[in-house]
């Protein structure tokens, strides 16, 4: 029984394993959830979707604006599991797996995109879903556990300057995550702080770090775009419903690599789409598509909540069936990654999605607005 949320298993040829990785306690540390192709094993356990009850308090605060709903949310979703093998053994691959660094949205955390991360891993990717730890302000004390609250814009500070600083910190964290995997591939020992059975060194001969992409949703979408400016090893970016507001205009000519923007129907503004189009005018390989019948939250795991609970938390939900929406987004991403990471798979079969051709997709972007 998976509580009130039923996340779909990956549809690709690989079973999917999952583990948490934490290195370093301070600002220079990293915390991420790793999704990867794994070997089947008897008695595999599935991880909780919300790893700790404290996250429910944060979710209640951000989504409902009411922290007292935390207990109700905990009852509704606290026992939900992700359909992956916790600490399952990595499936070896001599040519190495391509790597995706994934950045979450504002007020989110590393596990809220488990459905898309699981799907991509099932098609032969290692996906590192970051839990962003950097916030503007002072670093925590080393060795202490600190919960980072949702960062509202301080009184008297302009939203752009606050969020712009934050997006630069997050993009830098994506680059640090890539450095972690480069260290592992180079044979350096990287001790994880968390007690676990999973040894990071198994990745040493199973990653192809010439094939690396960055991906994210909402604030994470614009983080992925900025990460391309900071790190040439990221060959392309996939931006799910990117909130383009925090990116300074000076950077638009500087984005060197192609971006796939996958938008929902109800979130984007003309200003945001104009920024995407400015990027596509600079890079002929950049693509903008819209998934019709979807709202902003449909690109998160929340899409798989029962209708009544979803509506209570977010208001209106999209009309497109969530599994269908996930299939469109993941197939478009796979076709794009196939093209720009030069993969040997059959993902080119979904190329038409990149032109906005197919059921429930459209090129470029219709407009509607929901709050972040």
Q: Picking from 96-100, 108-112, 332-336, which range would have the lowest pLDDT averaged per residue? A: 108-112
On the question of pLDDT at 281 being above 80, the answer is: yes
Local structure of 259: helix, strand or coil: strand
Task: Please report the pLDDT score of residue 74 as a whole number.
Answer: 59
Which residue in the list 104, 132, 217, 296 is annotated as catalytic? 296
Q: Which helix (H) or strand (E) holds 115?
A: helix 114-122
pLDDT category at 145 given cuts 50, 70, 90 is very low
Query: Of residues 20, 61, 241, 298, which has the active-site annotation?
Result: 241
pLDDT, residue 143, reads 43
Please indicate, yes or no, if residue 71 is contained in any of the structural domains.
no
Tens of pLDDT, residues 169-198: 999 999 999 999 999 999 887 777 776 778
pLDDT computed for residue 60 by the predictor: 52
Active site residue 311: no
In a domain, 141, yes or no: no
pLDDT digits (tens, 9 = 90+) for 291-326: 999 999 899 888 888 877 777 777 778 899 999 999
Looking at the domain assignment, is residue 26 inside a domain?
yes
Distance CA 262, CA 296 (A): 11
Residue 25: inside a domain: yes
3-state class (DSSP) for residue 183: helix
Taking 80 as the threshold, does the pLDDT of residue 5 lie above it?
no
For the chain, the domain total comes to 1
111 part of a folded domain: yes
Q: Residues 236-250: what's their mean pLDDT?
A: 91
Contact (CB, 8 A) for 113 and 301: yes
pLDDT at 155 (0 to 100): 59
Residue 72 lies in a domain: no
Mean pLDDT of the chain: 84
CB atoms within 10 A of CB 321: 12
CATH value at residue 352: 3.40.50.1820
pLDDT higher at 158 or 157 = 158
Check 70, 122, 218, 257 and give the catalytic one: 218
Provide CB contacts within 8 A for 256, sequence distance 6+.
228, 229, 232, 283
| 296 catalytically annotated | yes
Give residue 203's domain range.
19-33+91-136+157-363
pTM above 0.95, yes or no: no
pLDDT 10s digits, 6-50: 899 999 999 999 999 888 766 678 889 999 999 998 888 998 887
Helix, strand, or coil (residue 21): strand
Q: What is the pLDDT, as a whole number, of residue 235?
A: 97
Average pLDDT on 117-141 reads 79
Q: How far is CA 128 from CA 22, 36, 333, in A?
A: 12, 9, 16
| DSSP, residue by residue, 131-155 | -----SSPPPPTT--------PPPT
**3-class DSSP assignment, residue 172:** helix
Share of the chain above pLDDT 90, in %: 52
Token reading at 332: 């478009």
Written as six digits, the tokens of 72 are 């109700």
**What are the pLDDT digits (tens) for 42-93?**
888 998 887 665 555 555 555 555 554 555 565 567 678 899 999 999 999 9
Q: Which two tokens stand for residue 330?
A: 């993941």
Q: What is the DSSP string of 346-365?
A: SGGGGGGGGGT-STTEEES-
pLDDT at 139: 45
For residue 371, pLDDT over 50 is answered with no
**Within a domain: 275:** yes
Active site residue 25: no
Whether 292 is covered by a domain: the verdict is yes
């Amino acid at each position: 029984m998976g509580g009130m949320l039923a996340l779909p298993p990956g549809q690709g040829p690989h079973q999917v394993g999952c583990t948490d990785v934490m290195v370093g306690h301070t600002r220079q540390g990293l915390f991420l959830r790793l999704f990867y192709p794994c070997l089947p094993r008897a008695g595999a356990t599935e991880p909780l979707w919300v790893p700790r009850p404290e996250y429910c308090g944060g979710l209640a605060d951000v989504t409902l604006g009411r922290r007292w709903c935390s207990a109700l949310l905990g009852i509704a979703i606290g026992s939900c599991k992700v359909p992956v093998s916790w600490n399952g053994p990595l499936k070896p691959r001599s040519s190495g797996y391509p790597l995706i660094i994934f950045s979450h949205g504002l007020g989110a955390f590393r596990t809220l995109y488990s459905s898309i991360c699981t799907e991509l891993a099932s098609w032969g990717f290692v996906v590192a879903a970051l839990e962003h730890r950097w916030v503007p302000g002072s670093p925590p004390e080393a060795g202490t556990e600190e919960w980072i609250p949702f960062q509202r814009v301080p009184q008297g500070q302009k939203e752009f300057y606050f969020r712009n600083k934050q997006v630069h910190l997050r993009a830098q964290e994506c680059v640090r995550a890539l450095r972690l995997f480069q260290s592992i591939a180079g044979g350096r020992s990287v001790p994880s702080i968390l007690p676990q059975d999973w040894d990071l060194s198994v990745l040493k001969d199973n990653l192809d770090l010439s094939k690396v992409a960055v991906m994210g949703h909402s604030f994470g979408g614009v983080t992925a775009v900025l990460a391309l400016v900071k790190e040439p090893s990221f060959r392309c970016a996939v931006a799910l419903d990117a909130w383009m507001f925090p990116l300074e205009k000076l950077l638009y000519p500087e984005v060197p690599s192609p971006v796939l923007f996958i938008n929902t129907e109800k979130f984007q503004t003309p200003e945001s789409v104009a920024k995407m189009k400015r990027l596509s005018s600079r890079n002929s390989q950049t693509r903008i598509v819209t998934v019709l019948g979807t709202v902003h939250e449909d690109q998160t795991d929340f899409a798989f909540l029962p209708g009544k609970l979803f509506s209570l938390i977010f208001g209106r939900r999209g009309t497109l069936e969530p599994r269908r929406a996930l299939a469109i987004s993941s197939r478009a991403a796979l076709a794009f990654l196939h093209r720009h990471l030069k993969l040997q798979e059959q993902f080119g079969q979904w190329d038409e999605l990149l032109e906005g051709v197919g059921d429930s997709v459209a090129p470029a972007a219709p407009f509607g607005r929901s709050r972040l």
